[in-house]
Amino acid sequence: MRKKAKSEVNKPILRGAEVSRAIRNYLLDGDLAPGSRINEVQLASNLGVSRTPVRAALQALAGEGLVEYKDNRGFFVREFQLSDVLDAFEMRALAEGFAVRLAAERGISPQSELDVEKALALGRKALSAETSEQARTDYSASNEAFHRAIHDASRSRLVKDVVALCNSVPQTIFRNVMSFSMETLAHRVEQHEAIYEAIIARKPKEAEDIMRTHVLDVRRAIMRDMSRKSGA
């Protein structure tokens, strides 16, 4: 029997759900190129598991629309057209706007207030970061935390389900926005602050309008980036 290398012995054993989550993150973060064939053997090796949980995860992800199976050829990373991305953003803007309207109408819990305020504090921290890379990292974390807290504050399962569906299009995930500037970052942080103020003031229409503008601003930025990339 081959003696296991030290790195293999110490490598954690991933469960099926963890394998699916890891591959999903690869796809959503763009680590696997759109349209490329997925090498199951290499993927299994990278994750330190056999091909069985990898294949099960890919079958599940095919059901989510993130990958495609082609007869006798295997699994491929799904390619999304610009129209798919724009449609997903339109739907996300509606869902996110609905979430803040519900939060403002129903009022938010002390825990939700705390979660939102922590996210806003991280956003303000991003504005004073020493490097643009650190600013982007801090803002990305702040943004994800802010929207997650808003979804929780809405107390709506429907909102979470619709946003999860939109997230099956990788380009709609806010951390994947390619365009970046400190001016843009500052504007988005201001929008977060304004959304929260409208929720606390119990102004549902105002909160909804700002949130929809916020999401559609990102949509426009991604549309510009994708158009430039396709024309390069």
Reported as a single tens digit per residue, the pLDDT across 154-180 is: 999 999 999 988 877 776 665 555 456
Confidence of residue 229 (pLDDT cuts 50, 70, 90): low
Q: What is the pLDDT of residue 161?
A: 92
Q: Determine phi and psi for 49, rounding to 5 degrees.
A: -130, 175
Compute the average pLDDT of residues 75-91. Answer: 86
Architecture of domain 6-77: Orthogonal Bundle (1.10)
Q: What is the pLDDT of residue 115?
A: 97
Q: Which residue has the higher pLDDT, 208 or 19?
A: 208
Q: What is the pLDDT of residue 113?
A: 96
> Residue 7 pLDDT more than 50?
no
| Extents of the domains making up the chain | 6-77, 82-231
Which CA distances in Å does 112 have to 109, 177, 220, 222?
5, 26, 29, 29
Confidence of residue 226 (pLDDT cuts 50, 70, 90): low
- Average pLDDT along the chain: 84
Q: What is the pLDDT of residue 16?
A: 67
Q: What is the pLDDT of residue 228?
A: 63
User: Residue 221's closest CA among 185, 196, 190, 193?
Assistant: 185
> Residue 184 pLDDT more than 90?
no
Whole-angstrom Cα distance, residue 144 to residue 119? 8
Q: Express each pLDDT in 120-157 by its tens digit.
A: 999 999 999 988 888 888 988 899 999 999 999 999 99
Lowest mean pLDDT among 101-105, 134-138, 152-156, 204-208: 134-138
CATH entry 3.40.50.300 includes domain 82-231: no
HEC states along 12-66? Answer: CCCCHHHHHHHHHHHHHCCCCCCCCECCHHHHHHHHCCCHHHHHHHHHHHHHHCC
* Residue 24 neighbours by CB distance under 10 Å: 19
- Tokens, residue 153: 């504050």
Which residues, 6+ apart, have CB-to-CB distance to 182 below 8 Å?
127, 132, 135
Whole-angstrom Cα distance, residue 36 to residue 29? 15
Q: What is the pLDDT of residue 227?
A: 64
Q: Which residue has the higher pLDDT, 146 or 223?
A: 146
Confidence of residue 9 (pLDDT cuts 50, 70, 90): very low
User: Residue 192's closest CA among 134, 84, 115, 130?
Assistant: 115
pTM score, two decimals? 0.70
Compute the average pLDDT of residues 199-217. Answer: 96
